[in-house]
Amino acid sequence: MDNIRVISDTHFEHGNIIDYCGRPVRFQNKILAHLDQPEALCEMFIHVGDFGFLNKAETVEHFLLCLPSDNVILVAGNHDLKCKRILKGCWSRVIMPSKQPFKIEYAGLKFAIQHRPFGRQKYKVRGKRLWLQKISDFFTKGASTIPEDADVVIHGHIHELGQRYRWVEGKLIVNACVEHWDYKSFSLDEVVKEYHERKQFYSTYRPRFNSRKH
Confidence of residue 98 (pLDDT cuts 50, 70, 90): confident
Average pLDDT, the chain: 87
| Cα–Cα distance, 112 to 102 (Å, whole number) | 6
Would you say 60 and 19 are in contact if contact means Cβ atoms under 8 Å apart? no
Q: What percent of the chain has pLDDT over 90?
A: 70
Q: Which domains does the chain have, with CATH numbers?
A: 4-211 (3.60.21.10)
Helix and strand numbers (H, E) in the chain are: 6, 10
pTM recorded for the entire structure: 0.86
Residue 6: strand pairing partners: 46, 186
Distances in Å between the Cα of 25 and the Cα atoms of 15, 28, 97, 162 are 9, 8, 30, 22
DSSP state of 117: P
Q: How far are the Cα atoms of 129, 191, 200, 208 from residue 203, in angstroms, in the given order?
A: 25, 18, 5, 10
Q: What is the pLDDT of residues 159-209, one digit of tens each?
A: 988 899 999 889 999 999 999 999 999 999 999 999 999 999 988 876 555
In total, the chain counts a number of residues equal to: 214
Q: What is the pLDDT of residue 44?
A: 98
Position 146 confidence tier, pLDDT thresholds 50, 70, 90: confident
- Per-residue pLDDT tens for 47-58? 999 999 998 889
Residue 126 predicted with pLDDT over 70: no
pLDDT of residue 208: 54
Sorted by sequence, the CB contacts under 8 Å of residue 39 that are 6+ apart come out as none
Nearest Cα to Cα of residue 195 among 102, 76, 111: 111
